[in-house]
């Protein structure tokens, strides 16, 4: 018997609303925050926002939303940023507000039978290069990230069953050779060991240039990601990549290149965080 199927979409609100129309096209969460005069009003408005998303997605049979964006808004960092445009998608530049809004949004989604996804760890707001196109380095000191960009991630990761999406920047201070999405030092060293995070980790799309054009390529990146402790690999823009990736995984398993211990732990996490069905 096959496990329940994750059926996912990007329905953040604002400029990333893949199913609007026909679904309600809501403004970005940042607009909800800016128009709320009190914390209680913000709480109520975010819950109503999440309820709308949750009800409409659940009615279509979608049980996972790739939202909310918890990257901090650092403004326009680069004019070459064509696709990520986090400054138009982020909730706020205030880490406390981002954490509270993300928590309220996820709670509202869960109440309607839809899981949420915190994205994009380790934070894309500071990047000067668009990872849709090519590799990007996040050179910010870890101590600064821990006090700023990572606060919303940690707070919501520790208090909900939200999935966490891994972005593709290279976290220079930790692993200068691999994007975060398939870095053993980041995924296992920081998230699984240091943070003791036992939730589901999903990558951002491996069709993106930062992975597709990397030294490892998509197939080797997938093997490294699973061995590092990632649970789900996203292949979206180019669905045909599924076939070489699956072939590479079969070959890797036969060559004893896949960590059975890590795969078993991943299976346990996915069983514990089964999708709504």
CATH of the domain at 107: 3.20.20.300
Please list the residues that pair with 262 across neighbouring strands: none
Number of domains in the chain: 1
What is the residue-averaged pLDDT of the chain? 95
Is residue 176 one of the residues assigned to a domain? yes
Is residue 3 one of the residues assigned to a domain? no
Cβ neighbours around 80 below 10 Å, total: 10
Q: Which domain holds residue 185?
A: 8-272
Q: Which positions are annotated as active-site residues?
A: 132, 204
The residue written with tokens 């970005």 in the block is 28
pLDDT, tens only, 232-277:
999 998 889 999 999 999 999 999 999 999 999 999 999 999 887 6
* Consecutive H or E run containing 68: none
Check whether the bond before 120 is cis (ω within 30° of 0).
yes
Is residue 153 one of the residues assigned to a domain? yes
Is residue 147 one of the residues assigned to a domain? yes
What does residue 270 show for φ and ψ, rounded to 5 degrees? -65, -35
Is residue 29 one of the residues assigned to a domain? yes
pLDDT, tens only, 12-53:
999 999 999 999 999 999 999 999 999 999 999 999 999 999
Is residue 74 one of the residues assigned to a domain? yes
- Beta-strand relationship, 11-13 and 16-17: antiparallel
Please state which of the ranges 18-22, 83-87, 88-92, 227-231 shows the lowest mean pLDDT: 83-87
The reported pTM is 0.96
Record the tokens describing residue 267, joined without a space: 């299976």
Is residue 1 one of the residues assigned to a domain? no
Is residue 17 one of the residues assigned to a domain? yes
């Amino acid at each position: 018997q096959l496990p329940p199927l994750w059926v996912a979409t990007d329905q953040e609100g604002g400029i990333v609303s893949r199913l609007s129309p026909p679904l309600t096209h809501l403004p970005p969460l940042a607009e909800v925050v800016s128009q709320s005069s009190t914390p209680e009003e913000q709480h109520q408005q975010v819950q109503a926002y999440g309820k709308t998303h949750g009800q409409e997605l659940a009615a279509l049979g979608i049980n996972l939303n790739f939202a909310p964006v918890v990257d901090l808004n650092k403004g326009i960092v680069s004019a070459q940023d064509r696709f990520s445009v986090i400054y138009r998608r982020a909730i706020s530049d205030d880490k406390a507000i981002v954490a509270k809004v993300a928590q309220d949004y996820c709670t509202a989604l869960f109440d309607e039978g839809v899981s949420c996804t915190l994205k994009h760890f380790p934070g894309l707001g500071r990047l000067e290069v668009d990872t849709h196109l090519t590799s990007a380095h996040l050179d910010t000191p870890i101590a600064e990230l821990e006090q700023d960009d990572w606060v919303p991630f940690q707070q919501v990761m520790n208090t909900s069953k939200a999935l966490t999406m891994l972005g593709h920047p290279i976290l220079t201070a930790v692993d200068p050779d691999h994007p975060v999405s398939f870095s053993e030092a980041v995924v296992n060293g920081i998230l699984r060991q240091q943070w003791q995070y036992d939730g589901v980790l999903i990558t951002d799309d491996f069709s993106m240039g930062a992975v597709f054009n990397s030294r490892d390529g998509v197939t080797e990146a997938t093997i490294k990601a699973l061995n590092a402790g990632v649970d789900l690999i996203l292949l979206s823009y180019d669905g045909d990549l599924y076939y070489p990736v699956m072939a590479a995984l079969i070959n890797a398993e036969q060559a004893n290149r896949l960590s059975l211990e890590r795969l078993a732990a991943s299976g346990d996490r996915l069983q514990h965080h089964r999708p709504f069905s």
